Amino acid sequence: MEDCVFCRIVEGSLPCARVYEDQDFLAFLDIRPVHRGHLLLIPKTHRVRLTDLPEEILARELPLAARLARAVLAATGATDFNLLNTNGPASGQEVFHHHLHVIPRAPGDGLRLSIAPASYGPGEMEALAERIAEQVTG
């Protein structure tokens, strides 16, 4: 897609600091890193969400993300990392081309991911689990 910044990076019309590339994926440093070494892993095919990707790409994506995470940790000296993916505007997705963030972390680095947990009323959890399970096996 010509208006997608990641597609433009894949086609070579926008520069990036490439870390890894094969026929299906490209990994490069984020230009607005949370921490040095923060990289993005994208499929070369344009898909907006994780749920839009073909299974053969999905099967390769997580092992590749793990390989990249190990490389980021070794290269930066970070002790830990976050693997982050957003899907749609409500989730915070800003570039509408599926991508995984690999963000190196260290104790006291100042980054705080906060989640305000909710709870279920009586019977709600079981009913929702059943509805989801029906969709999975559907």
Does the annotation mark 101 as catalytic? Answer: no
Interatomic CA distance for residues 22 and 15, integer angstroms: 17
Interatomic CA distance for residues 33 and 40, integer angstroms: 10
Interatomic CA distance for residues 68 and 70, integer angstroms: 5
Interatomic CA distance for residues 76 and 32, integer angstroms: 17
Which residue type occupies 50? Answer: L
Compute CA 93 distance to the chain's CA centroid, rounded to the nearest angstrom: 10
Q: Which of 35, 97, 99, 101 is catalytic?
A: 99
Interatomic CA distance for residues 47 and 99, integer angstroms: 9
Interatomic CA distance for residues 104 and 78, integer angstroms: 6
Active site residues: 99
